[in-house]
């Protein structure tokens, strides 16, 4: 049971206000996990949530002198089921979209990932990372239009020798926190309201926990 | 007693691994190791495991790499299925190289981990980790603006 502790609702409530969620997307074997591992280095034990087929890395940092808890979500191979479970996208604040410069198909598949992302999260910031540049540094002289076309930051990175990995993740964290503070997305605003509820210290047996469900039912019956 | 393997091959029927080797006196010998109960459906990994742990064969096979033994078993098994040697060798080669146009999302766990193992060789080759000379946590490089196209953007495709 210990492995599921971070998903415990009580913990989630405490953390939610100052936490951001960053997800990684892209084909199998483009290096998503290796990038996260390179950023976090040793000492961070990923939470393997096999039930949900994902890997969760929790990271504490400071953004503009405010403490922030960052949850990095990694697919744990789930990308092979052609689409991700909706919970993967739920309340994400930033997305890192990765392709492998040695394999063209991983670049050609970016629009599919991006499209799926936008179905669930229409307005969160997204960053494009071209990984494995250590295999051939000449690739950094070349233009890849996808990121420009969709107006997203683009980085040449290498999880192997570390090039621009820290820069990529710092920028992702910055964009995620900015998004969370300023989002006008309806669901995000609802989530912010819920955070405010928590601040009022409403006890969990106030009945609020079950209220949304019964409302839903009422709507359907009506 | 030391065994100096020279060549390791197969006999199709009945299935066996055939090893030529020099013994400690430098004499050339040949040893045929039957693979009992091996069928079209036998697991390659398990069969290889039981061969190398067989006390009669162990010392002869300890200097043969596991991938090579598995490859030889695979050749025998594909032959049992009526697949030609050339075809099998071609397939094995495909599995052990990275095709930049192959969609790895479609592979099963075993095939994917094989591809990942090949890519990991590059990863490890260029890897800088803590303790290595010249390792820095933060490596920032501003690359100059692109001077050529990647050739991966298709003008007719609105996505790129």
Of residues B105, B138, B150, nearest to A144 (C-beta): B150
- Closest residue in A to B104 (Cα) is A28
Asked, for residue B47, whether it belongs to a domain, the answer is: yes
Residues of chain A found within 8 Å of residue B128, distances taken between Cβ atoms = 160-162
Yes or no: say if A29 and A79 are a contact pair by the CB < 8 Å rule: no
Q: Which residues of B touch A105 (CB under 8 A)?
A: 100-103
* Per-residue pLDDT at A50: 54
Q: Which among A42, A77, A134 is the nearest to B126, CB-wise?
A: A134
Residue B79 lies in a domain: yes
For residue B119, is it within any domain? no
Residue bearing the bigger pLDDT, A219 or A52: A52
Residue B48 domain flag: yes
> Does the pLDDT at position A194 exceed 90?
no
Distances (CA, A) of A107 to A152, A191, A212: 15, 34, 41
Chain B residue nearest residue A145, CA to CA: B160
CATH 3.40.50.300 given to domain A2-8+18-199: yes
DSSP-derived 3-state class of residue A155:
strand
Which residue from B minimizes the CA distance to A146?
A: B160
Rounded to whole angstroms, the Cα distance separating B89 from B150 reads 33
pLDDT tens profile A122-135: 999 999 999 999 99
The reported pLDDT for the residue numbered A100 is 97
**Structural domain total, chain B:** 1
- Asked if A27's CB is within 8 angstroms of B103's CB, the reply is yes
pLDDT of A111 higher than 90: yes
What is the mean predicted confidence (pLDDT) over A151-180?
96
Mean model confidence pLDDT for chain A: 81
**ipTM attached to this prediction:** 0.73
Does residue B87 lie within any of the structural domains? yes
Structure confidence at residue B95 (pLDDT): 84
Predicted confidence (pLDDT) per residue in B42-98, tens digit: 999 999 999 999 999 999 999 899 989 999 999 999 999 999 999 999 998 888 888
For residue B147, what is the nearest residue in chain A, using CA coordinates? A141
CB contact under 8 A, A105 and B100: yes
Q: Which of A77-81, A141-145, B150-154 has the highest mean pLDDT?
A: A141-145
> What is the pLDDT averaged over residues A189-208?
62
Residue B3 vs residue B42, higher pLDDT: B42
Asked, for residue B34, whether it belongs to a domain, the answer is: yes
User: What pLDDT, in 10s, does the model give residues B19-29?
Assistant: 999 998 989 99
Q: How far, in Å, CA of A26 to CA of A79, rounded?
A: 7
Whether residue B116 lies inside any domain: the answer is: no
Q: Which domain holds residue B64?
A: 4-101
State the nearest Cα–Cα gap between B67 and chain A, in angstroms: 22
* Band (A5; pLDDT cuts 50, 70, 90): very low
């Amino acid at each position: 049971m210990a492995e599921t502790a971070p998903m415990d609702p009580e913990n989630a409530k405490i953390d939610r206000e100052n936490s951001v969620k960053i997800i990684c997307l892209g084909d199998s074997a483009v290096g998503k996990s290796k990038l996260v591992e390179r950023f976090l280095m040793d000492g961070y034990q990923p939470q393997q949530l096999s039930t949900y087929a994902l890997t969760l890395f929790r990271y504490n940092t400071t953004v503009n002198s405010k403490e922030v808890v960052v949850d990095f979500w990694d697919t744990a191979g789930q990308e092979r089921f052609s689409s991700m479970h909706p919970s993967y996208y739920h309340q994400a604040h930033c997305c890192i979209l990765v392709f492998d410069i040695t394999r063209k198909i991983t670049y050609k598949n970016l629009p599919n990932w991006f499209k799926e992302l936008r179905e669930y999260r229409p307005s969160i910031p997204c960053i494009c990372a071209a990984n494995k540049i250590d295999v051939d540094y000449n690739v950094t002289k070349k233009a890849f239009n996808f990121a420009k076309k969709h107006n997203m930051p683009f980085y040449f990175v290498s999880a192997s020798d570390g090039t621009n990995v820290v820069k990529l993740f710092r920028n992702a964290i910055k964009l995620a926190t900015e998004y969370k503070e300023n989002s006008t997305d309806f669901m995000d605003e609802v989530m912010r309201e819920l955070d405010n509820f928590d601040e009022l210290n409403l006890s969990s047996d106030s009945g609020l926990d079950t209220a949304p469900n019964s409302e839903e039912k009422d709507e359907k019956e009506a | 007693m030391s065994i100096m393997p020279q060549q390791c091959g197969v006999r199709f029927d009945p299935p066996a691994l055939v090893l030529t080797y020099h013994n400690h006196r430098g004499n050339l010998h040949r040893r045929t190791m039957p693979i009992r109960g091996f069928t079209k459906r036998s697991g390659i990994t398990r069969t290889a495991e039981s061969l190398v742990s067989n006390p009669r064969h162990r010392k002869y096979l300890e200097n043969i790499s596991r991938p090579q033994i598995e490859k030889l078993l695979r050749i025998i098994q594909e032959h049992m299925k009526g697949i030609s040697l050339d075809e099998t060798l071609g397939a094995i080669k495909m599995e052990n190289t990275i095709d930049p146009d192959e969609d790895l999302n479609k592979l099963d766990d075993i095939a994917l981990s094989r591809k990942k193992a090949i890519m990991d060789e590059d990863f490890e080759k260029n890897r800088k980790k803590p303790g290595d000379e010249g390792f820095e946590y933060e490596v920032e490089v501003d690359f100059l603006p692109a001077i050529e196209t990647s050739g991966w953007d298709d003008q007719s495709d609105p996505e790129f």
